[in-house]
Amino acid sequence: MLEVCEVVAIEPVQEVEFSDHSTHRLQQVWCKSSDEETQGAWTTFVKLYDNNIEANANLKVGDMVGLEITPTSRRTRDDNVVQSIIIKLKVGAA
């Protein structure tokens, strides 16, 4: 599903270390629903890593962006099912 959202905050870039001990740059972009009547009222964030930070360098608070929201699930080693949501920022989609 593709939702049109408004950027409400952009956090500074920080360095994070993954479990494999590689270091990456991370920037979180906070977005809220643009049409609360049809989409409901919600706020979420999107994590941008490395090259995606540069690809969205012109992004600023107040911009309208598209978010691709995909529900997903995975099975754990102990046979439980974990549900989650994948959220991707769509460049130039809004």
Task: Please write the tens of the pLDDT for every residue from 16-70.
Answer: 999 999 999 999 999 998 877 776 788 889 999 999 899 888 999 999 999 888 8
Whole-model pTM: value is 0.77
Contact present, 21 and 15 (Cβ < 8 Å): no
d(CA 45, CA 26): 12
Contacts of residue 22, Cβ cutoff 8 Å, sequence gap at least 6: none
Least confident of 11-15, 24-28, 80-84: 80-84
pLDDT of 21: 94
Q: How far is CA 66 from CA 7, 17, 21, 71, 78, in A?
A: 10, 28, 32, 16, 36
pLDDT of 32: 92
